[in-house]
Structures are given as C-alpha cells and as structure tokens.
C-alpha cells in the first residue's frame, strides 16, 4: 500500500485536483496492461479528451512515470514499482485488487462505508460497485454480506485471481481502469482521514 500512497502523493505534488489524480492513475494502469499506447488510442480507450490526455501524459512524463516517443507511451521502472501492488482483471466485470499489509486491511474494513462513499463520489455512480472487501489469510472478508452470499462471491473472486492480503473491489463495468483508480484514491483518502 505504501507504493500506492507514494504514487498518489507524487501525482498530487503537480496535479492537486482529485479528478487529475484519478485520471493520471487510470492512464498508468491502462499503460501497465496495454503499453505502448499512443495519445489518441489512450484518449479513446479511457474516454478522456485528447487535450486532457496530452496534458496528463506531460505531467506523468515530468514525474518520471512514463516515457514517450512516436510509437506511444509506456511505463518507466519507477511507475512499474509503484503499481506493483495493483492488479486488474478485465473480463465481463472489472476486478481490482491492491495488495496491502494486515494493518491496512483492518483499517480499510473499519472505514469500509467511508471508502464506499468516496468511491461513489469518485465514480459519480454507485451502481458500478458490485462488491468491496478483503482477503486475509485466505479468508474472504465481506462485512455486512450474509454467509450464503459470501460463498457465491468467492467464486467470482476466484476468477479475479485476487491475492491474499488484498483489498478488492468488483465493478459490474468491463474495461474500467477508471474504477480501479477511483478505488486507489478512495483507499488512500480514507486512510488519511483518521477514525
């Protein structure tokens, strides 16, 4: 989680607006799975304007997180390291998991409602969120979810290849790197807010 916090802090140093942070992380995650990507393809894939995409790419390049040439943009080793804990599985739904330590999982579960609320604000639509929870010691932790439903969700999680000691979200929207970026922002924001 420390890598992800450092990534958010780094972007905030040049782009202090919430939307800029989320869109920047969205670009980085898209590049992690589909690099190299040109500005036009990236803009189309993520639903961002070309000018916005260009400006965010400039910021990410200035931060040393991407490199670019005529063939497109790709992640630097620094960005790869910062994104190492983040995993996105994109099928008919989008599964996002972030490997964290046990204390972060405990903190996140205590702030689950706050995280969900921040995530809803970030996405501007709560209907995309199917499930929020954690996996710790190979146990699925789904606060407020009845045991029978948790068994059903475990099957979905197995498709997501969610690692142990992870906080995760499943979104009912395919190809949603933006959803994962919104989750990263929600987790880091909630962890800064205290009890």
Output the pLDDT for position 66.
96
CATH fold for the domain made of 85-192: Gyrase A; domain 2 (3.30.1360)
- Sign of the CA dihedral running 30, 34, 39, 44: negative
pLDDT tens for the chain, 195 residues: list them. 677 888 888 888 877 889 999 999 999 999 999 999 999 999 999 999 999 999 999 999 999 999 999 999 999 999 999 998 898 887 778 889 888 888 888 888 888 889 999 999 999 888 889 888 888 887 788 888 887 887 777 777 777 767 778 888 989 888 889 999 999 999 888 877 544
Q: What is the pLDDT of residues 150-191, one digit of tens each?
A: 777 777 777 776 777 888 898 988 888 999 999 999 988 887
Output the pLDDT for position 1.
62
Output the pLDDT for position 20.
93
Angstrom distance (rounded) from CA 164 to CA 154: 13
Output the pLDDT for position 118.
93
Domain spans of the chain, in order of start: 2-82, 85-192
Output the pLDDT for position 174.
84
CA angle in degrees (0–180, nearest 5) for 126-154-113: 35
| Contact (CB, 8 A) for 156 and 170 | yes
CATH fold for the domain made of 2-82: Arc Repressor Mutant, subunit A (1.10.10)
State the SS3 of 77-138: HHHHHHHCCEEEEECCCEEEEEECCHHHHHHHHHCHHHHHHHHHHHHCCHHHEEEEEEEECC
**Mean predicted lDDT score pLDDT of the chain:** 87
- Residue 104's nearest CA partner among 38, 26, 48, 166 is 166
Output the pLDDT for position 161.
66
């Amino acid at each position: 989680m420390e890598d992800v916090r450092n990534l958010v802090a780094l972007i905030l140093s040049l782009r202090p607006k919430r939307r800029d942070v989320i869109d920047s992380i969205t670009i980085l995650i898209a590049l992690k799975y589909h690099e190299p990507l040109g500005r036009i393809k990236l803009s189309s894939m993520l639903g961002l304007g070309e000018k916005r995409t260009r400006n965010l790419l400039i910021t990410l390049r200035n931060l040393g997180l991407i490199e670019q040439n005529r063939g497109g943009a790709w992640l630097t080793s620094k960005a790869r390291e910062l994104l190492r804990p983040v995993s996105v599985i994109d099928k008919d739904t989008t599964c996002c998991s972030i490997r964290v330590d046990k204390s972060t999982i405990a903190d996140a579960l205590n702030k689950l409602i706050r995280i969900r609320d921040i995530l809803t604000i970030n996405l501007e639509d709560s209907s995309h969120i199917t499930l929020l929870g954690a996996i710790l010691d190979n146990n699925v932790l789904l606060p407020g979810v009845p045991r029978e439903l948790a068994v059903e969700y475990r099957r979905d999680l197995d498709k997501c290849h969610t690692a142990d000691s992870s906080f995760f979200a499943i979104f009912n929207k395919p190809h949603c790197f933006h959803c994962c970026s919104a989750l990263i922002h929600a987790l880091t924001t909630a962890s800064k807010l205290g009890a």
